[in-house]
Amino acid sequence: MRHPLHSLLPALCWAFLFLGVCNCLKNADQVRDRITHLPGQPANVEFSHYSGYVTVNETAGRALFYWFIESPASRNPEKRPLILWLNGGPGCSSIAYGAAEEIGPFHIKSDGKTLYLNPYSWNKLANLLFLESPAGVGFSYSNTTSDLNTSGDQRTAEDAYAFLVKWFDRFPQYKYRDFYIAGESYAGHYVPQLSQIVYQRNKGIKNPVINFKGFLVGNAVIDDYHDYIGTFEYWWTHGLISDSTYKYLHIACDSESATHPSSDCIRALSIAEREQGNIDPYSIYTPPCANTSALQHNLRGHYPWMSRAYDPCTERYSQFYFNIPEVQKALHANVTRIPYPWATCSDLVSNYWGDSPVSMLPIYRELIAAGLRIWVFSGDTDSVVPVTATRYSIDALKLPTVANWYPWYDNGKVGGWSQIYKGLTLVTVTGAGHEVPLHRPRQAFILLRSFLENKPLPNA
């Protein structure tokens, strides 16, 4: 159905052409994607937001779903940078996690039907672009069924880049804007891989359309070898496993086990899981949501110690809300009627994940040498991709130290610790789990503000 404003666009564009306000042909899609109202939203919404599909491969019919949320009008969105946010899994939705329970302005109440405003939404500091990636995740789809069981890192990165190129054509006012890529968990692969593609394809261009400045990742999968060492060490030093199991894990599991675990490694991991008991591994000091065990996935994620989806009660609210037909209509989502319910994570995509390099460290070295801004943050109560794994990985880069380990503060209280290296900043957030903005929203907001201003975290 044609939007009622569609026929007026040529006249409007000619009228405003001298102001450079719009590009007639490209902004028709922008008008179509504008969200006028979400079911259950609060009344005092002061920002514009858009959602819809961008086809990234015409032949296969792969289309990725996005939700773009501008800064409030009072905060001058035209002067704010643009951040692309990616969640990991692989196979998990950036709408479910990043947008709906972490950094987005709308969070879902326990009734699964109404929304409330997040006081620490990152759109107060930047314009936010959430992407459900790859095809098969959330509302993103492919008309080629085999695409859903042949996903992997390389195609995910290429499709995300194709998305960006087309998205900037749809939103030309964001061309040349300062642009950053951010994410968490297995997006520790997505973010640097996409960053590398953008950086390499910008080479030789004086004023690139995608004005890429750097990336930010949290509790990120970085390097298989160091993930193993750091994860097992965290379990042991935090009293989650026995001495004998700690030794057994080191014998049975090596860096190759991350993608192809041996039977001995699987047995060692099963013993470790039993010893840990009914805790939330993504936030070890947080009581798990009631009946969490009934919702746990039987199959693990790409890494054998990683359950695929963080499963506090908030995940349930997303599962309910985004399957409401009126919500999907308001979001311009599910227009092709995908033959399965919207889910926070896709078992199919995750279980059949293909290529996954053992380390992101070579990409870090390339992008550090390029002078891009790179920050890595870590919630220190996550036992899935723990702070010890991150520290081992960063140490392997052998970067010179600019500012040694120091506590940073929020209103006189320690918010975490930081170390500044030449080319990279490490930040920990005390008391935060795998999803730092979910558990420590105020501290995550302070972290982002410092990142965007390229300033150290406050030391007093």
Interval 175-229: pLDDT, tens: 999 999 999 999 999 999 999 999 999 998 999 999 999 999 999 999 999 998 9
Q: Provide the greatest CA pair distance for the chain.
A: 75
Residues 231-248: tens digit of each pLDDT:
999 999 999 999 999 999
CB 346 within 8 A of CB 132: no
Domain residue ranges of the chain, discontinuous segments joined by +:
6-208
Q: What is the mean pLDDT of residues 444-453?
A: 98
Q: What is the pTM of this model?
A: 0.90
Q: Among residues 147, 311, 380, 382, which one is catalytic? A: 382
Residues 349-358, mean pLDDT to the nearest whole number:
92
382 is catalytic: yes
Task: Reply yes or no on whether the pLDDT at 291 is more than 50.
Answer: yes
Asked if pLDDT for residue 292 goes beyond 90, the answer is no
pLDDT at 306 over 60: no
Helix (H, G, I), strand (E, B) or coil at 142: strand
**What does the pLDDT read at residue 257?**
54
Give pLDDT, residue 3: 38
Question: What are the residue ranges of helices labelled H in 204-360?
Answer: 224-237, 243-252, 263-276, 292-295, 313-321, 325-330, 347-351
Pairing of strands 62-69, 49-57: antiparallel
- How far does Cα 113 stand from its chain's mean position? 24
Nearest-CA neighbor of 12 among 3, 51, 70, 45? 3
Active-site hit among 49, 189, 332, 434: 434
Length of the chain: 460
In degrees and rounded to multiples of 5, residue 332 shows phi and psi of: 55, 35
- Measured between alpha carbons, how far is 434 from 383 in angstroms, rounded to an integer? 8
pLDDT value at position 19?
A: 41
Between CA 389 and CA 240, with CA 417 as vertex, the angle to 5 degrees is 45
Residue 287's pLDDT band (cuts 50, 70, 90): confident
| pLDDT tens digits, 139-169 | 999 999 999 999 999 999 999 999 999 999 9
The chain-wide mean pLDDT, for the chain, equals 89
CA distance 180 to 396: 25
Cα separation, 393 vs 390, in Å, equals 5
pLDDT reported for residue 312: 58
Radius of gyration over alpha carbons of the chain, in Å? 22
Nearest alpha carbon to residue 234 among 430, 89, 380:
380
| Residues forming beta bridges with residue 129, ordered by sequence position | 68, 84
Active-site position among 185, 283, 307, 450: 185
Instruction: Give yes or no for residue 44 having a pLDDT over 70.
Output: yes
Is 434 among the catalytic positions? yes
> pLDDT per residue over 94-146, tens digit each?
999 999 999 999 999 989 999 999 999 999 999 999 999 999 999 999 999 99
| Class for the domain spanning 6-208 | alpha beta
